[in-house]
Amino acid sequence: MSFEIKIYYSDTDCGGVVYYANYLVYFEKARTEWMEERGAGVKDLAEKGVLFIVSKAEVNYRSPARYGDLLTVEVKAGKIGSARIVFTYRVVRKSDKKLIAEGSTDLACISEDIRPRRIPSEVLEKIKDK
């Protein structure tokens, strides 16, 4: 699945390049859309006491993105375990298909009292590739 991000001035640093931490925000937006597309929206899961937290994040920066660029964030679920999901991301500039960044996030499933828990089977059914 892919998600498009338009780069605004507020996304950039004083040099006009996308501020490095914003890629984590872009990852989260793409991941949220990915989950919602599969019927596992974050808000709906939270209302059922199923929460996910980022336990690890990595970003490898390959080329700068700048104000006005249109980026495509590709997101995939990698390893899905009993209590965690690893997502991988590729950020590509739409105009020339240049790789801008790539990375991953590990999400741990927790209960409302912040204790680890298994991902419910009905959620696993929705998020596993079909």
Q: Cα–Cα distance between 102 and 97 in angstroms, integer?
A: 13
State the DSSP code for 65. -
3-state helix, strand, coil in the chain (%, to 5): 25, 40, 35
**Which position among 13, 69, 96, 129 bears the catalytic label?**
13
Four-CA torsion 34, 38, 40, 43, nearest 10 degrees: 60
Q: Which residues pair with 87 in a beta bridge?
A: 77, 105
Q: Cα–Cα distance between 41 and 48 in angstroms, integer?
A: 11
Decide if 129 is catalytic: no
Among residues 89, 64, 76, which one has the least CA distance to residue 11?
64
Positions annotated as catalytic residues are 13
